[in-house]
């Protein structure tokens, strides 16, 4: 835990200097001599997730983890990589026609949808909102088909991007994270996912989209009206939350990749298989981890909130 304190101390060093300059004692609440931010040596209490990690949001340095390098199914968190590949490709005003095949694809595994209709045309940018807020598997299919080109081409690009990022414990067999062809064929690790999250959140378009609680697409010549709301409970309920993505399948359970900024300090984390049945448990796991990290900081900087 001393190493943990030193790592995050480096992240918040500028804040700490200002605090000391205003007369706040350098020692934390326990009076420990080696750092301003004394965490419990046992880690956050009550976390249900089978796998989890918390990292600083600047470098991606993992600060606390559980099964950090164990590959497991990640469900719709896979859509983060789908979005990264699309955004990196550019041309986000490209008109994308929603293929009829997208609906059999969603229905086969009971995938969540953005309520798209076969043949309607939206821009890639609009579909990214449909992908990341309501977790539309229909939007994932449409984007993959357009940008692959084709599903296989797009999956190849997803895996090539993962390799370039050094995500050795990650593989994608589906652009939505659906269990196709098997429950375990799309997978990643907690450490890999926070690294992916850091890279994704460095993309301004991605960052803007996942910070949105709602998004409205008015009816146009080629599309229906759509009103999308985020599935990320943390974004609505936790101070400083700025994203990122939920996930849920039978094998993956309820998962959440998240980022927050409090007291000017970005933290990024993930919880995997927090519950078989409830996204609230995943949200609560994320809150426990974040509070464990932030509470000592906020006690030193009571006005930071």
Instruction: List the catalytic residues.
Output: 76, 79, 135
CA distance 178 to 161: 19
Calculate the alpha carbon distances from 15 to 32, 123, 237 in Å: 19, 42, 25
Neighbours of 195 (CB within 10 A): 24
Whose CA is closest to 280, among 226, 239, 232, 240? 232
Calculate the alpha carbon distances from 27 to 12, 76, 259, 301 in Å: 14, 42, 27, 13
Determine how β-strand 265-272 pairs with β-strand 253-262: antiparallel
CA distance 305 to 299: 9
Q: Which residue has the tokens 């960052």?
A: 207
3-state secondary structure of 159: helix
Whose CA is closest to 60, among 193, 227, 229? 193
């Amino acid at each position: 835990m001393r190493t943990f304190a030193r790592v995050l101390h480096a992240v918040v060093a500028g804040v700490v200097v200002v605090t000391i300059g205003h007369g706040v004692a350098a020692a934390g609440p326990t009076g420990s001599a080696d750092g301003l931010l004394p965490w419990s040596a046992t880690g956050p209490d009550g976390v249900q997730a089978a796998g989890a990690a918390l990292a600083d949001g600047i470098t991606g340095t993992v600060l606390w983890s559980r099964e950090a390098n164990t590959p497991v199914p990640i469900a719709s968190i896979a859509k983060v990589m789908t979005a990264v590949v699309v955004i990196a490709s550019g041309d986000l005003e490209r008109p994308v026609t929603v293929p009829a095949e997208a609906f059999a694809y969603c229905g086969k595994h009971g995938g969540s949808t953005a309520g798209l209709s076969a043949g309607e045309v939206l821009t890639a940018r609009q579909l990214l909102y449909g992908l990341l807020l309501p977790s539309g598997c229909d939007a994932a299919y449409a984007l993959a088909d357009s940008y692959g080109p084709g599903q296989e081409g797009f999956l190849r690009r997803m895996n090539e991007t993962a390799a370039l990022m050094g995500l050795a414990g990650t593989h994608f067999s589906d652009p939505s994270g659906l269990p196709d062809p098997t429950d375990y064929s799309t997978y990643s690790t907690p450490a890999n996912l926070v690294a992916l999250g850091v890279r994704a959140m460095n993309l301004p378009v991605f960052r803007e989209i996942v910070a949105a609680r709602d998004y409205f697409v008015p009816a146009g010549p080629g599309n229906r009206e759509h009103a999308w709301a985020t599935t990320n409970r943390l974004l609505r309920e936790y101070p400083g939350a700025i994203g990122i993505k939920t996930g849920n399948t039978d094998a993956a359970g309820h998962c959440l990749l998240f980022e927050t900024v409090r007291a000017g300090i970005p933290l990024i984390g993930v919880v995997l298989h927090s519950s078989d049945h409830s996204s609230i448990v995943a949200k609560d796991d994320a809150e426990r981890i974040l509070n464990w990290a932030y509470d000592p900081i906020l006690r030193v900087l009571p006005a930071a909130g």
